[in-house]
Structure 1
């Protein structure tokens, strides 16, 4: 856990810097027309959905089978990454071949409420291709213990490029048409930066000859890849369908409101993304070594730490939500997003509080359950999303997400408990849930200044101070205690030098 914790802290810093840039971009997006904001968000969702198909499960294959290739090839070049790139390229070519079939459906479904999306739909393809290539290379950086680097590019550099484009558009230097085209090539930028970095460091050890190990393992790799493909497509479809359906039924302006609400709550999930990128190789190695104690420890600790992080972040958001929107003068349509933030925030807490169940299942011998559980998720998500959006609009989409993801995580929890006797909860889980509720009530009902900025500063400082004090005094998390101890020690050393 010490390795996970150290690299996790670095990665988390990078990701939160990215979120600060994302927050700046979101603020600047308020100066766009709502339908223009909706277009950029929906294009990204479509690209992510396309990428889940074009990957054909190759990035997960790189993570799962890397320990075997590392043992077999030692310092020699490996063909594992080469195979992953080849598979992903084939996947993208198949997608392009399907474009002629997709185009009439796109025009029919979106021309009424979202004509702008029809005009710019083709930009989803370069986004999807380079996102696919980046994800393959990202999996390799995880294996090389360089997850912070790929996270820096994905979270910071990608958003920084967008910040530059936004300023160019708002400054009148480029038109929205040019902005949209340049926006679609951002993943190309971070992919080539990562590629050239690994080449410069001589860590891109790709072989273009099929190894004897691949010849032995391909019968395991192929079905694994296909199952992961199905699971990935279903998972991504279940998480992107809401914005796509909203843009079809309600229009890009409402999609913009929903997706900005999604962005606000996506801040909550940052620690999970960090933990997944750092812990996945550890989990994969533990399965190879049949180290159930290590698996149980990672599962339990990540669940508790992610729950602590998610409840803290969500409560901070909810505590300051009204004051934030009082300060930022926006189109009144964006004020409709508050109940969406509440519901999606609760969903993120459920997601993080159940731990890294996906990473554990997907690298186990019972990895096929990943697909089965995702099929159930999709079966819940699609009808719920469509029916509830038609009836309740954006709030319906948020409710559909909360219900379907809760069922989904309950299934995974039950599976790991029954098959491997793994479960992440303890009495400390309950303590981690009670603390933010109590502290929120205390701060919310006692602090209320007329100045929104002052209100945010005082409330945030008081909440963070009391919350942190209780977490440490009650010794809720061993990892939090150790991180706090390390910080205290370094501060003392610094003070001693002065």
Structure 2
């Protein structure tokens, strides 16, 4: 078994363990021991630091993969003068350091607008404004170390640190605060220290596997390579601004514009976590199928691209849609068993609208690699600005009127319009779409499931109501998918199992 297979298997196992720990942390510990305001505060700080660190990378997360082969010298060890891969790690650290300094200066200059934005409804976030700076710096260099480990074909330990170690550390931090062993100020400091420790663990790991240092081959970086790197990086820095902003605007704008402030931000965050489960199967499908699309577009085989689009979108909607329906059909029972669920039940329709937005996304997001692998890849730049403008305008319009539900509706509108425009462009220019007879049969089945759910009586105990509702609907849905031959792949798998019996 090769290194890629070994690392992939280990990384997958770590991801499942991390997902289980994340579930325990979010839905048992955090909701039990932290108030919605505490959750809103920590999530805003983390999301702000994550956003700023992604800007500070200056496109390194894309250019690192593109340009590493140019620097690679083919040796597993450093050269006799101590330089490995012509000093690629030095250049990565240089880019990140420049980005970190620029974003730190920007943070110092931006405090006034930040205070004006959050002081009314979320003054606690203003009090911890400067805590964002060290946190984003730790996140920034942690990302750099992870990127370098990935170049060295090592993903299992980095995933272990991010998915398991960090979450276990944060559980300890949450419990220290929950039982009042530390004040809020010390809680935030220890919270940030957990990220610093993980960054140092990541540095120690790459030093062990890569013997990293800041030495470089001064004559290696040619003017042409510099120009190509800067041109590529500039494009992705500009393109990433819109996509990163739009993905986190809703939480920030809820905390800023809604009268509930950080309490509303905390409720919105819990609802967002519920919906995030929907896209887990989609991530795996995309990672497996994107290279197939890249190969088809490389050959300019638009018929194959259209076939792939239809198959992948169908299965993404099938898997994600069934998960969303089961969540929505049981939403009241979920809040009933959630610790302090009465506090978070205000996010019920946030789950619905975000879930509908996620359905649109997983139906149409396979169009992203189609565009990226085509001659129209530069259109992504216009697309991300469209998404950002839509997100800002719809949130500004709806949050003051409808609160957290307005933010969720804004996300739904933005998703529908932005993906609709992208699909229109793909259909006109590349003649590909996700729509097929099987897809329409699936949508009809989902509508039928809504009716079936209405016929099942509610039981007072949520522990009984959830299986009473989920088992017949889930089994009935799978039987219908097989009987209607919605998914040929699923049908063949069932036929194979039946023949074995």
CA drift at 1:229 = 1.3
Quote the residue 1:95 is aligned against: 103
Distance 2:194 2:495 in 1: 40
TM-score normalised to the size of structure 2? Answer: 0.83
Task: Choose from 240, 243, 251 the match for 1:235.
Answer: 243
Match of 1:462 in 2: 472
Q: CA deviation at 1:424?
A: 3.5
CA contact (8 A) 1:61 1:225 kept: yes
Farther-moved stretch of structure 1 (188-197 vs 227-236): 188-197
2:39 aligned residue (37, 40, 49): 37
Structure-1 residue corresponding to 2:347: 337
Superposed displacement of residue 96, structure 1? 0.8
- Equivalent residues in 2 for 1:241-260 (5 A)? 241-249=249-257, 250=259, 251-260=261-270
State the secondary structure of the residue aligned to 2:128.
helix
Offset at residue 323 of structure 1 (A)? 0.7
Residue among 48, 62, 65 paired with 2:64: 62
Q: Which of 158, 162, 178 is matched with 1:170 structurally?
A: 178
Displacement of 1:281 in angstroms is 6.3
Which blocks of at least 5 consecutive residues in structure 1 are unaligned?
A: none
**Count of residue correspondences:** 486
Is the contact between residue 19 and residue 267 of structure 1 (CA under 8 Å) also seen in structure 2?
A: no
If the length of structure 1 is used for normalisation, what is the TM-score?
0.84
Change in 2 beyond 3 A, CA 1:307/1:218: farther
CA distance in structure 1 between the partners assigned to 2:226 and 2:428 by the alignment? 30
Shift of 1:350: 0.8
What are the residue-to-residue correspondences of 1:202-217 with 2, within 5 Å? 202=210, 208-209=216-217, 215-217=223-225
CA distance in 2, matches of 1:218, 1:473: 58
Change (3 A) 1:469 1:136: farther
**Contact in 1 for aligned 2:298/2:373 (Cα 8 Å):** no
Residues 88 and 216 in structure 2, CA contact (< 8 A), matched pair in contact too:
no
1:314 aligns with 2:316: no
Larger radius of gyration: 2
2:230 to 222, 233, 242: 222
Deviations 1:259-289 (A, max 9, x none): 2111111111223344455666666677667
> What's the CA shift for 1:139?
4.7
Match of 1:355 among 365, 369, 387: 365
In the alignment, the residues of structure 1 paired with residue 9 and residue 452 of structure 2 have an alpha-carbon distance, to the nearest angstrom, of: 30
Uncovered stretches (5+) of structure 2, i.e. residues with no partner? 77-83
Secondary structure at the counterpart of residue 132 of structure 2: helix
- Which of 119, 128, 142 in structure 1 is aligned with 2:136? 128
Seen in structure 2, the aligned counterparts of structure 1 residues 32 and 364 have a Cα distance that, compared at 3 Å, is same
Conserved 8 A contact 1:235-1:378: yes
* Pair 1:179-2:180 in alignment: no
Deviation, 1:137, is 4.6
Q: 1:381 aligns with which of 382, 391, 395?
A: 391
2: distance between equivalents of 1:246 and 1:423?
34
Deviation at 1:404, TM superposition (A): 0.9
2:275 corresponds, among 262, 265, 279, to 265
Q: Is the 8 A contact 2:90 2:215 kept in 1?
A: yes
Does residue 412 of the first structure (1) align with residue 422 of the second (2)?
yes
| Counterpart position of 2:18 | 18
Other-structure match for 2:80? none
C-alpha distance 436-466 of structure 1, shift in aligned 2 (>3 A): same
Q: Do the aligned residues in 1 keep the contact of 2:90 with 2:213 (CA within 8 Å)?
A: no
Give, in angstroms, the shift of residue 258 of structure 1.
1.4
Offset at residue 61 of structure 1 (A): 1.8
Structure 1 residues 153, 432: CA separation in 2 closer, same or farther (over 3 Å shift)? Answer: farther
Q: Is the 8 A contact 1:63 1:143 kept in 2?
A: yes
Mark the CA change 1:470 to 1:192 in structure 2 (over 3 Å): closer, same or farther: farther
Shift of 1:389: 0.8
| In 2: Cα distance, 1:406 partner to 1:469 partner | 30
- The alpha-carbon distance between structure 1 residues 294 and 133, as it changes in their structure 2 partners (threshold 3 A), is farther
Task: Classify 1:99/1:201 alpha carbon distance in 2 versus 1 (closer, same or farther; 3 Å).
Answer: closer
